[in-house]
């Protein structure tokens, strides 16, 4: 399917795989989408800036890059940044079309329904979009889809008016008569208000007057503040709604001065905000910010998980605002057709965006149109890379499933370096543009949004799963049943039930030597540091005491790693350390105990601030202190191994000291956590059919330790 992407200062149209429906979402064949002039043109300009200028504007991203260089090296960092720049960004957040498929848990929409959609994360300029239910509303009967595609802009304007709380007969000033200003004027008129408006473009003032605005303040009228005072009998406006976009601070200052005493100003647009106290203090003005299109915006629980706000407590959510805007349009209270400057077919999207560069006659609102649906359109979920190459002799053909930052910054560069062992056959991602861009960057034969595609592809020998944690176990099981070798990022599973399915798969097999290799991404055991420790302690004569400290760093509690998608940091990350304990002891675990703090405030959580202790059959005792209470200025990881009169100290996988023996330690400039060596061992096991890199019982045990720790933590909280 075709989709508009923003790359290096340009809007381009690319062919990408169509998305798949997911629980709580709707798959929509787009009929029309509306270009947001302010937001999208700003995005295009930002994407065309040189890297140093972007760094100046976004210093927080520079800090992230520097940290990545320190931990992963310059080569992998360059690869990650290159991928980010080359992939482009999807754009658009307002569309309308026909429902193709409905995901689980949605029972009030069905295929064939006409809907309008919002959301910068989903309602893109693309032939097919996947949209959560709360960002989708039915289109009223007889309302054209081109008009309905303006739903997001209409809802933004409506929320701005709601924030102003206008009452019948009040006078409002609207500053900025672009599309949001035009909608705002009509909404205020529908609310029984007298409306004055101004803009630097006289043509837009005339248009607003034609659409029902009472009075216009033209640039040539002189002092606009005095003009408003004359039009309001010297009282001033009851309220001002700012829908302009400018870096100047004068707009807000002017708005304050136009108001009567105890009036209110609502900011919908994007303007300079260096406020002058004298402008609003004496009048005791109220200043409100209108956040996009209503309550629910930027709330992941509302938008993505479908948790609605009760109407009795939150009367107007973003979804209800969207529906109300469409109702007002359908009933003729809001006129949209005269505001549409042009409609371009999706194939001419670049020309549509170029039309905004005209300094003399910039269009007010531009739509994109899309071809009518074809029988096979929704099934085009594979895009072939034009630079495909066949695999070489002895290469393992691998599909990477999940093309997030870690895969692009770590696994894919490593696969490239190991091209004598691996051939990157396919990239699978839930978002088509990411799959396509990643396939191009790393030379995969094709990109797809369909996991079943690679499972049914006889040319795929192995899959590398790097999706979010809640998908791991089910994807692993499907791949194993399809006969594919599997390397899955940790964790292997989030529940005992999931783990049992994988155990049962191998337990019920008739011929173990023909079964696919399973490797959980416990990469730390493959680092030269861990191997050196193992070689030193394997001839020990007594049990060990192992102390591990993980200064994990704070992650906000609404981050996905803390949710059902991530399973929490114990199951999602601490399992690495449980595997190391298993590797070093080579023994079955006997007891597992855990104790967490009880935070005094809601900032911290017990689930990532705990101490876990376990004993093993060989008599060894291991303790993990895992905490988010510390500072990033202190090293992240340290392990001490007390064994046979010696102490081995591992610091951040950058330095190993052995105290009490004449053994030379190890040191490296950057952490060596064994990710590349893990892939080497995975290839060896597949090609030679020899012993697995990690025995199955050890992968199972590390996962079960994490599950037992989780049970302990939850039992006391």
Residue 144 resides in a domain:
yes
Cα separation, 116 vs 147, in Å, equals 10
- Are both 145 and 159 inside the same structural domain? no
CB atoms closer than 10 angstroms to residue 692: 16
- Are both 119 and 140 inside the same structural domain? yes
**Cβ-based burial of 104 (10 A; exposed 0-12, middle 13-18, buried ≥19):** exposed
pLDDT category, 54, cuts 50, 70, 90? low
Angle between helices 696-715 and 496-507 (to 10 degrees): 160
Residue 200 resides in a domain:
yes
* Portion of the chain with pLDDT greater than 70, in percent: 92
- Are both 332 and 270 inside the same structural domain? no
CB within 8 A of 47, min separation 6: which ones?
A: 6, 7, 8, 9, 10, 88, 89
Return the pLDDT at 65.
Answer: 63
Q: Residue 368: which of 342, 339, 337, 336 has the closest Cα?
A: 342
- Are both 533 and 619 inside the same structural domain? yes
Q: Tell me the mean pLDDT in the region 532-540.
A: 95
Q: Tell me the mean pLDDT in the region 435-457.
A: 96
* 67-81, 134-148, 479-493, 628-642: range with lowest mean pLDDT: 67-81
Residue 381 resides in a domain:
no
**pLDDT value at 46 more than 90:** no
Q: Tell me the mean pLDDT in the region 161-172.
A: 97
- Supply 670's token pair: 């950057």
User: How far is it between the farthest Cα atoms of the chain?
Assistant: 97
Return the pLDDT at 510.
Answer: 66
Provide the CB-side half-sphere exposure for 506 (13 A, CA). Answer: 17
Residue 114 resides in a domain:
yes
* Portion of the chain with pLDDT greater than 90, in percent: 83
Cα separation, 439 vs 433, in Å, equals 10
Q: Tell me the mean pLDDT in the region 409-423.
A: 96
- Are both 586 and 644 inside the same structural domain? yes
Cα separation, 62 vs 274, in Å, equals 26
Return the pLDDT at 614.
Answer: 98
Residue 545 sits in a domain whose CATH number is 3.30.360.10
- Supply 277's token pair: 């106290």
- Are both 279 and 311 inside the same structural domain? no
- Are both 487 and 569 inside the same structural domain? no
Provide the CB-side half-sphere exposure for 433 (13 A, CA). Answer: 25
- Supply 622's token pair: 């291991």
- Cis amide linkage into residue 717, ω under 30° from 0: no
What are the start-end ranges of the E strands in 373-484? Answer: 382-384, 396-401, 422-428, 446-448, 462-465
**pLDDT value at 376 more than 50:** no
Residue 500 sits in a domain whose CATH number is 3.40.50.720
pLDDT category, 344, cuts 50, 70, 90? very high
Residue 165 resides in a domain:
yes
Cα separation, 287 vs 266, in Å, equals 6
pLDDT category, 80, cuts 50, 70, 90? low
639 forms beta bridges with 548, 650
- Are both 565 and 708 inside the same structural domain? yes
Query: Alpha carbon of 535 to those of 37, 144, 310, 584, 667: distances in Å?
Result: 63, 72, 61, 9, 17
Return the pLDDT at 86.
Answer: 64
Q: Tell me the mean pLDDT in the region 167-174.
A: 97
Cα separation, 293 vs 344, in Å, equals 26
Which of 259, 289, 319 marks a domain boundary? 289
Return the pLDDT at 355.
Answer: 87
**pLDDT value at 513 more than 80:** no
Give the global pTM. 0.89
Return the pLDDT at 612.
Answer: 98
Return the pLDDT at 56.
Answer: 54
Number of domains in the chain: 4
List the 666-667 sheet strands across, edge first: 589-596, 610-616, 621-627, 545-551, 637-643, 646-651, 655-659, 666-667
* 318-322, 390-394, 530-534, 544-548: range with lowest mean pLDDT: 390-394
Residue found by looking up tokens 């079309």 in the block: 97
Cα separation, 717 vs 596, in Å, equals 9
- Supply 230's token pair: 């004359």
- Are both 259 and 226 inside the same structural domain? yes
Residue 91 sits in a domain whose CATH number is 3.90.180.10
Which of 490, 520, 550 marks a domain boundary? 520
In three-state form (DSSP H/G/I as H, E/B as E, the rest C), the secondary structure along 177-239 is CCHHHHHHHHHHHHCCCEEEEECCCHHHHHHHHHCCCCEEECHHHCCHHHHHHHHCCCCCEEE
- Are both 557 and 700 inside the same structural domain? yes
**pLDDT value at 67 more than 90:** no
Mean model confidence pLDDT for the chain: 92
- Are both 190 and 243 inside the same structural domain? yes
Cα separation, 549 vs 129, in Å, equals 45
What does 468-535 look like in DSSP terms, one character per residue? -GGGHHHHHHHHHHTT-EEEEPSPS-SSHHHHHHHHHHHHT-S-GGGSPPEEE--GGGGSHHHHHHHH
Residue 26 resides in a domain:
yes
Q: Tell me the mean pLDDT in the region 242-254.
A: 94
Is 145 within 8 Å of 32 (Cβ atoms)?
yes
Which of 230, 261, 289 marks a domain boundary? 289
Return the pLDDT at 690.
Answer: 80
- Are both 213 and 169 inside the same structural domain? yes
3-state secondary structure of 591: strand
Query: b or e along 288-299 (b: 16 or more beta carbons within 10 Å of the residue's beta carbon)?
Result: bebbbbbbbbeb
Q: Tell me the mean pLDDT in the region 493-522.
A: 90
Residue 686 resides in a domain:
no
Note down the domain range covering 395: 387-520
Residue 375 resides in a domain:
no
3-state secondary structure of 249: coil
* 62-76, 560-574, 695-709: range with lowest mean pLDDT: 62-76
- Supply 381's token pair: 């979920």
């Amino acid at each position: 399917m075709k989709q508009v992407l923003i790359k290096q200062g340009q809007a381009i149209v690319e062919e990408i795989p169509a998305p798949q429906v997911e629980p709580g979402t709707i798959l929509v064949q787009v009929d029309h989408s509306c270009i947001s002039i302010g937001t999208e043109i700003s995005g295009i300009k930002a994407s065309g800036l040189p890297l140093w200028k972007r760094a100046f504007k976004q210093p927080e991203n520079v800090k992230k890059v520097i940290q990545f260089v320190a931990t992963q090296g310059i080569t992998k960092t360059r690869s990650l940044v290159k991928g980010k720049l080359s992939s482009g960004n999807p754009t658009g957040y307002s569309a309308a079309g026909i429902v193709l498929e409905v995901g689980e848990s949605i029972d009030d929409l069905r295929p064939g329904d006409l809907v309008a959609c919002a959301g910068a994360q989903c309602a893109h300029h693309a032939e097919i979009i996947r949209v959560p239910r709360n960002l989708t509303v039915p289109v009223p009967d007889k309302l054209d889809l081109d008009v309905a595609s303006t739903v997001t802009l209409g809802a933004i304007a409506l929320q701005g008016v709601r924030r102003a709380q206008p009452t019948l007969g009040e006078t409002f000033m609207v500053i900025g008569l672009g599309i949001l200003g035009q909608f705002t004027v009509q909404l205020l008129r529908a609310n029984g208000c007298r409306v004055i408006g101004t803009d630097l473009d006289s043509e837009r003032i005339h248009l607003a007057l034609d659409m029902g605005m009472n009075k216009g303040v033209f640039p040539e009228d002189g002092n606009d503040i005095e003009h408003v005072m004359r039009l309001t009998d010297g009282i001033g406006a009851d309220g001002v709604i700012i829908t302009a976009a400018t870096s100047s601070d004068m707009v807000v200052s002017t708005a304050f001065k136009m108001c009567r005493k105890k009036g209110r100003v609502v900011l919908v647009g994007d303007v300079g905000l260096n406020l002058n106290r004298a402008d609003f203090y004496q009048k005791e003005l109220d200043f409100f910010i209108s956040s996009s299109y209503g309550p629910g915006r930027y709330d992941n629980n509302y938008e993505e998980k479908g948790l609605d706000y009760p109407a009795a407590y939150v009367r107007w959510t973003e979804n209800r605002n969207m529906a109300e805007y469409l109702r007002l349009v359908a009933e003729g209270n809001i006129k949209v057709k005269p505001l549409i400057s042009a409609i371009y077919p999706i194939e001419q999207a670049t020309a549509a965006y170029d039309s905004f560069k005209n300094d003399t006659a910039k269009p007010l609102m531009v739509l994109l149109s899309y071809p009518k649906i074809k029988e096979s359109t929704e099934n085009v979920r594979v895009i072939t890379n034009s630079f495909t190459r066949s695999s070489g002799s002895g290469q393992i053909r691998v599909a990477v499933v999940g093309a997030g930052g870690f895969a692009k910054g770590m696994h894919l560069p490593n696969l490239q370096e190991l091209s004598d062992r691996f051939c990157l056959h396919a990239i699978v991602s839930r978002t088509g543009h990411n799959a396509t861009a990643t396939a191009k960057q790393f030379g995969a034969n094709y990109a797809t949004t369909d996991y079943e595609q690679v499972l049914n592809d006889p040319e795929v020998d192995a899959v590398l799963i790097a999706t979010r944690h809640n998908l791991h176990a089910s994807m692993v099981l499907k791949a194993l049943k399809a006969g594919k070798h599997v390397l899955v990022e940790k964790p292997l599973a989030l529940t005992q039930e999931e783990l049992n399915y994988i155990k049962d798969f191998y337990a019920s097999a008739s011929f173990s030597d023909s079964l696919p290799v399973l490797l959980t991404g416990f990469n730390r055991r493959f680092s030269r540091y861990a191997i050196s420790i193992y070689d030193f302690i394997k001839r020990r004569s007594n049990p060990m005491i192992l102390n591990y400290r993980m200064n994990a760093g704070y992650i906000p509690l609404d981050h996905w790693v803390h949710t059902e998608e991530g399973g929490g940091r114990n199951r999602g990350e601490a399992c690495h350390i449980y595997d190391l304990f298993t590797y070093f002891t080579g023994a079955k675990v006997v007891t597992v105990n855990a104790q967490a703090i009880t935070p005094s405030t809601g900032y911290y959580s017990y689930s990532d601030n705990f101490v876990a202790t376990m004993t093993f059959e060989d008599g060894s005792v291991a303790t993990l202190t895992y905490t988010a209470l510390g500072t990033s200025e202190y090293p992240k990881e340290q392990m001490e191994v007390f064994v046979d009169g010696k102490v081995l100290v591992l610091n951040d996988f950058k330095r190993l000291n052995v105290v009490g023996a004449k053994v030379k330690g190890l040191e490296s400039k950057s952490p060596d956590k064994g990710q590349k060596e893990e892939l080497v061992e995975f290839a060896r096991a597949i090609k030679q059919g020899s012993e697995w890199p990690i025995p199955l019982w050890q992968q199972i045990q590390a996962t079960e330790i994490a599950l037992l720790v989780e049970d302990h933590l939850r039992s006391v909280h």
